[in-house]
Structure 1
Amino acid sequence: MQNKTIKYSDLLADWLKEKGYTHCFYVAGGNIMHILASVNRHFKCVSVVHEVAAGIAAEYFNEISADGKAFALVTAGPGLTNIVTAVAGAYLESRELLVIGGQVKTADLCRQQVRQRGIQEIDGVDIVKPITSKSVLMDRLISCDEFNRIIDAGVTGRKGPVFLELPLDIQGAPVDANDPLCQFHATEMQALPAIGADEIQHLIDDVRSAKRPFLLIGAGVARQTVEQIYDALEPMGIPLATTWNGADRVAADHPLYFGRPNTWGQRYSNLLMQQADLLIALGTRLGLQQTGFNWQEFVPNGRVVQVECDPTELNKGHPRVDCGLQGDANQVLKALAAASLGDHSEWVGYCQKVKAQLPLIEPINNTAENYVSPFEFVSRLSVHCRETDNVIPCSSGGAFTVMMQTFAQQRGQHIVTNKGLASMGYGLSGAMGAAFAYPQRRTILVEGDGGFAQNLQELGTVAVNKLNMKIFIFNDNGYASIRMTQRNYFNGAYIGCDQSSGLGLPDWLTLFKAFNLPCIKLDTNFEQNPEFRRLFESDQPAGFIVPIDPEQTYLPKITSRVTETGSMQSNPLHQMTPDLDEHLYSVVAQYLQ
């Protein structure tokens, strides 16, 4: 048999292709020169300006794509430290993210004997170990089986990032193509533990006997699962809601859809979930943002059933969980959809009455003259979106909460955000990932000016790739959420939240022009503007600046009060600020009396 020598990085690229990867987001660097040349032969390689954008784009790509996967490729040292925020975000949201990092050659590794030996050397593995499912320094040649075990750690059980650090000499090492080490072996993914038939039947019986059952669908329930049983949702006859990460699972116009409960949720949705006598939480960890900081009063008069793949989430102690089922939430939803769950029409009718009594846009909010109400804008924008759009709300601030409180999603849309880390600067990079995952779809991004400024350099990536992206920037002169906190708790002593207090922001129209991207400023009659319609319907990137009042209020919300002991206590989810009129509250909260 004739010997054929190949480079080890070529072998790794072959393995990644066999595992279904199609895209690579990267920033070039000397310590990844071999692996970059190898992956460039197999994948759509997208050069970004900053490594954090590579990680965020890959995360969002994987969340949306039904055909192919993406990974991020960064160089040693600053390449790794720059992407740490993206790794942390994917870890908190339990999402797949493979990051391959370069490293100095093995002979130059300090091995913790000195602070640094190789140029740009830093211990990337230990830096990200706490926020990854697996973090490995590959300082030797490994077999395909071992490679698979490392990569599959990010998609087995509860998903999470994987970091693989490749020294330069390992990347470029020659290997004999006939060596058994080079053979690719496919792996079968380990399924989540099955929930027993008796447990599922007990849950079905609980629903039948409940007076006010309520279904909360989280991101652990796959889009494909909901689409498969979509026609069965209405015959189930149970009011349902979604978490923010599961926002695109059910359309806003579904007759049994009752919103997105959250600490910044929709008031009617919070009230209804809190009045349930049986809450079934599928594929959600029920974190503090979902339950409220006052988790002791989460679903105060009902039982909570949580279906979750991670036993630590079932046993963490907050909120109270009366029945925790470790396993696959998709299995449970399919079983419920196939069962006869009894007649709950009276409860559904009550939910519909409450929803009608409590509009999403509350008149309490103030918008000064010559500014656009963010609530009205988002409501009207959602009408003009298509069912095939990718919709990317940013991940923090006023623009984020308004989108999640007001946007009316359509069946077929993909909505992705990252609320766990709640970092500014996620929107543009995430929208890029969505646009590459589905180039045939239009991608809608809504982000605040403060958050957008943190990754505005990626407008270059948008421009050079001519992405079909519509970028809406809420221009409120800085950090709206920080300004609100300083106004409410520090008597308006602003520090670093707007231009007058030291925050430097660009002229947005000039910025877009610098990248040769069209951009216009909108007003309250934006739909009547023919230039808006032309840019919005085109398949080219475009920017839209939405003037938002810097003193805009964002209500309703959960607030806190000072107790008799001087500590702070948050209101439960059903007591959003401002308080409702006593008579109205008695109508919409009769099971909380």
Structure 2
Amino acid sequence: MSSAIIERFLITEKDKKALSQIVFDSKDTSDDFFDYSKVVVKKPWGYEYLIFENESVAVWILYLKEGALTSMHCHPNKKTSLVVLQGNVVCSTLIGQFERAAGEGLLIDKGAFHQTRSISELGAFVMEIETPVNKRDLVRLKDKYGREGKGYEKSDKHSVNLQNYNYLELHATETPYNLKKQFGQCSLTFKKISRSQGIDELFTLNKEDVISVLRGQILNQNGQTVIEVGDTITVEELKKTVGPHVANFTEILVTKKIDTLIKTTDYISRFLVEHGVKTVFIVPGNANVHLLDSIGRGEELSFFCLQGECSASMAAEAYSSISGELGVLVVSSGSSGTNAISGIARAWVDSTPILVISGQDRIEFDPENQVRQLGNKSLNIIDIVKPITKYAVQVTDPNTIRYHLEKAVFLAKADRSGPVWIDLPIDVQGRILDEKELQTYEPKQPSIETISPDIISAIRELMVQAKRPVLLGGNGIRLAGGETAFLELINRLGIPTLTSRRGADLLAEDHPLNFGRPGVYGHRKANFVIQNSDFLLSIGSRLSIPLIGRNTESFAREAKKIIVDIDRHELEKLTLKPDIAICHSADHFIKTLLEGLSGFNEDYSNWIGQCQDLSSKFSIMSEDYQHKTQINPYLFIHQFSEHLQEDEIIVYDGGSIMNYVMQAFQLKRGQRLICSTGLELPGFAVPGAIGVSQWSNNKSIYCLCEGQGMQLSMPELQTIATYQLPIKILTFRSQGNATIRKIQKDFFGSRYVGTDNEILFGCPATEEIANVFGIPVIEIKNPDKIADGLQEFISQKRSVICEIQVDSDQELNPRMGFTIKDDGKWLAKPLEDMYPFLERDVLQN
């Protein structure tokens, strides 16, 4: 192996002798002046194409497949320079060989036989500069592919379909001076140097950079030509010339090896690792193959493939919810992107940080996205998802990929977290970047305003005056990393504490100050507590309609309301009238408040005693839940929760299942509840459990869904079986659509429009379907089988489905009550007046 960057192959006597012994017709080597622009010439070892040509030289790009080699050939009448742009090759002559890497090359004399072989796993790209211009000036001595004595490839080997090749296009109408192109591990820059300008600019290049002369020549101080058309040397060699200059104009091609070159999708893969991403959820498609390959080759990244984009988006969202880390989803173009919208909308509503990277069709013919659809499966997904993302952009310039990634990740986690979306056309995915030239994003770090001591003093004074204070915690506390501080605040304040639906797992059921979860389907006891309060401190809860009820004027009607939320829009919405609104992250507020509570020691024992009485009087048993012929889901959920251990993870669907869990599940210390609370997505639980499983390190995940959700999720049973995930599914078999049917029964004369299909046609047999995937099924059809069935279900070490036969037309109690006026207007009752309605004297007392 030689140490010189550019080696020279001189013609030898062996070359002359070998050429003299080859019989060929000189007509076959004479120029036919064929126009090779916009043509790829297919070779048995790969392909080649013309990127630049003038009257003196032609510049070609050659691609050699791994292990492939050219013929041993010479050009009797033209000089050739070879420069490796990517990979490694071995160049042989009749007397020796040299190994060449990116940025290294050869200058080959007329008539010198040579052969090039690729030794790189991914093949090699080589630039060939020939002078004079005549592609047919070719004589083959030996050839692995049987082309000895044959001339250059004819038109049957030409391809005009340039999209199938790594094609570098330069406009041949005029020399692209100062144009820089990146190819492989090198950059190519075309320069035009005048006599007045001088060649000092070339001396600013790195000494190992390679210079090729395309027109004109470089002279020494005596006017002698030292570098002529077609020659290739290094800057270091040029500097050895005394008094170098040009006579008139000289055209130069500079080849610079760049160690910082990287493929766009390889950069993305590394970026994810550097930002702490461990798992990427993927769905393969035509337009994301570059992304898939880069992620698959990333040793520090694991990927997880689901059956469809909707499930994958929910899995990524659940993964982020359980881990507190950025969820990452990779989808393809067209319907692949639209299929993912349900999960992304859920992340938007529930403030979950997710990065979506979608593939897209090529954009070169429609860079402004003006055409409704041009390429196969293409769709302007960015304008569709903008309303439900914090940042959505299509990357058209590869050099901006770092900027957009940094901005997206920052915004996904900043302030109120949420999803972001980057759309990456496939022709951008495969581009080679110079990392030194990537644009960066400099976020404006929000100045964390200190909470005024006057605000803390005002809160403290209100608490001193309060007789019935209540603390309400929401999921914003967990999103801000304030769980531990929240527990400290509860103990310091010593006041009754409630949690929102998403914040339910902040506090164990047996905590002496935990009095439940208020809401339209919440605990009756919790609603009484919050409605009787005279001071309400809400931290990290959106206080949405499902929590405060539709009769918003009556919510905590006598309470001074201090509301802490990171999103100012939540504080300014019309459904709330806070006495003190504090726009801050939950953890910062809690820590500031704790500092201001020094010496605080108010006694609220009387109020706590009242709350305990309410808790006792309106416990789950007070709702008159009973098993009938089959199983009451509230009682089942209650019993199921008693069987579970601390630190278990439970993932469940929205709708009726969420109501059962919120009403009857008894949370233990360290347990996590993951649910689609904002959108109440049916079919969330199974893909959500799959996402959680990628964080839980092979721990069993409990998954609760209704029959409809199970049907929507059945393709993902294949995922569970393939990956052997320890997911235990409880599916509640009933008439389905329980929440809607209840409304139709109460207010629409039991006309079950659109909700009676399961009654008319029945549900598919769960056991028969599960058997296809090799997943065992346990059935619990009547109450006396619950204890044994649960024991068998929980003791399983692998995936299992337990089907619960729910009582026919199960009531959803307690729930928000309505009154319908004569004009048809629905009036919501106050939060404490839940159905089944209590006797009025009981309610008043």
- Aligning the two structures, in what range does the TM-score lie when normalised by the shorter sequence? over 0.9
Q: Structure 1 residue 203 and structure 2 residue 462: aligned?
A: no
Gaps of 5+ in 2: 1-207, 209-256
Q: Distance in 2 between matches of 1:385 and 1:187?
A: 45
Counterpart for residue 213 of structure 1 = 469
Residue type of the partner of 1:269? A
Q: Distance in 1 between matches of 2:757 and 2:275?
A: 48
Change (3 A) 1:503 1:436: farther
Counterpart for residue 635 of structure 2 = 376
1:31 match: secondary structure: helix
The equivalent position to 1:346 in structure 2, one of 606, 612, 625, is 606
Change (3 A) 1:57 1:272: same
Paired residues for 1:107-506 under 5 Å: 107-109=364-366, 111-141=368-398, 142=400, 144-176=402-434, 179-181=436-438, 190=446, 193-222=449-478, 224-228=481-485, 230=487, 233-337=490-594, 339=597, 340-365=600-625, 367-369=627-629, 371-396=630-655, 398-499=656-757, 505-506=763-764
Counterpart for residue 362 of structure 2 = 105
Counterpart for residue 591 of structure 1 = none
Instruction: Write out per-residue CA displacement over residues 195-227 of structure 1, whole angstroms, 9 at most, x where no aligned residue.
Output: 223312321221122111100000111275223
Change (3 A) 1:108 1:462: farther
Residue type of the partner of 2:281? F
274-283 or 575-584: bigger deviation: 575-584
Instruction: Write out per-residue CA displacement over residues 539-587 of structure 1, whole angstroms, 9 at most, x where no aligned residue.
Output: 3111100100231111111121113554110111110011223453344
**Equivalent pair of 1:192/1:328 in contact (CA under 8 Å):** no
Q: Structure 1 residue 554 and structure 2 residue 812: aligned?
A: yes
Larger C-alpha radius of gyration, 1 or 2?
2
Q: Distance in 1 between matches of 2:745 and 2:367?
A: 49
Change (3 A) 1:377 1:172: same
Q: Distance in 1 between matches of 2:444 and 2:765?
A: 52
**Equivalent pair of 2:332/2:359 in contact (CA under 8 Å):** yes
Q: Distance in 1 between matches of 2:634 and 2:294?
A: 48
The alignment's C-alpha RMSD in Å is 2.2
Q: Distance in 2 between matches of 1:538 and 1:193?
A: 52
Residue type of the partner of 2:607? W
Counterpart for residue 273 of structure 2 = 17
Paired residues for 1:520-559 under 5 Å: 520-522=778-780, 523-529=782-788, 532-559=790-817
Residue type of the partner of 1:267? R
Q: Distance in 2 between matches of 1:429 and 1:439?
A: 17
Change (3 A) 1:323 1:228: closer
**Equivalent pair of 1:63/1:416 in contact (CA under 8 Å):** yes
Residue type of the partner of 2:807? D
Q: Distance in 1 between matches of 2:272 and 2:388?
A: 22
Identity of aligned residues (%): 27
Q: Distance in 1 between matches of 2:809 and 2:463?
A: 46
How far the C-alpha of 1:283 sits from its partner, in A, is 0.6
Q: Distance in 2 between matches of 1:30 and 1:441?
A: 34
Change (3 A) 1:236 1:541: same
How far the C-alpha of 1:477 sits from its partner, in A, is 3.0
**Equivalent pair of 2:315/2:692 in contact (CA under 8 Å):** yes
Q: Structure 1 residue 3 and structure 2 residue 255: aligned?
A: no
Q: Distance in 1 between matches of 2:762 and 2:379?
A: 32
Gaps of 5+ in 1: 588-593
Change (3 A) 1:110 1:181: closer
**Equivalent pair of 1:496/1:503 in contact (CA under 8 Å):** no
Counterpart for residue 590 of structure 1 = none
Q: Distance in 2 between matches of 1:535 and 1:466?
A: 17
How far the C-alpha of 1:439 sits from its partner, in A, is 2.4
Residue type of the partner of 1:584? V
Higher relative contact order (CA 8 A, sep 6+): 1
How far the C-alpha of 1:538 sits from its partner, in A, is 3.1
Residue type of the partner of 1:356? S
**Equivalent pair of 1:558/1:571 in contact (CA under 8 Å):** yes
Q: Structure 1 residue 34 and structure 2 residue 290: aligned?
A: yes
Query: TM-score if structure 1 supplies the norm length?
Result: 0.93
How far the C-alpha of 1:79 sits from its partner, in A, is 0.6
Q: Distance in 2 between matches of 1:278 and 1:203?
A: 10
2:412 match: secondary structure: coil
Structure with higher strand content: 2
Change (3 A) 1:500 1:51: closer
Query: TM-score if structure 2 supplies the norm length?
Result: 0.66
**Equivalent pair of 1:517/1:542 in contact (CA under 8 Å):** yes
Q: Distance in 2 between matches of 1:161 and 1:229?
A: 26
**Equivalent pair of 1:367/1:553 in contact (CA under 8 Å):** no
1:248 match: secondary structure: helix
Residue type of the partner of 1:388? D
Counterpart for residue 69 of structure 2 = none
The equivalent position to 2:825 in structure 1, one of 567, 576, 585, is 567
Q: Distance in 1 between matches of 2:414 and 2:340?
A: 23
Q: Distance in 2 between matches of 1:363 and 1:550?
A: 18
How far the C-alpha of 1:348 sits from its partner, in A, is 0.8
1:549 match: secondary structure: coil
Change (3 A) 1:545 1:188: farther
Q: Structure 1 residue 44 and structure 2 residue 299: aligned?
A: no
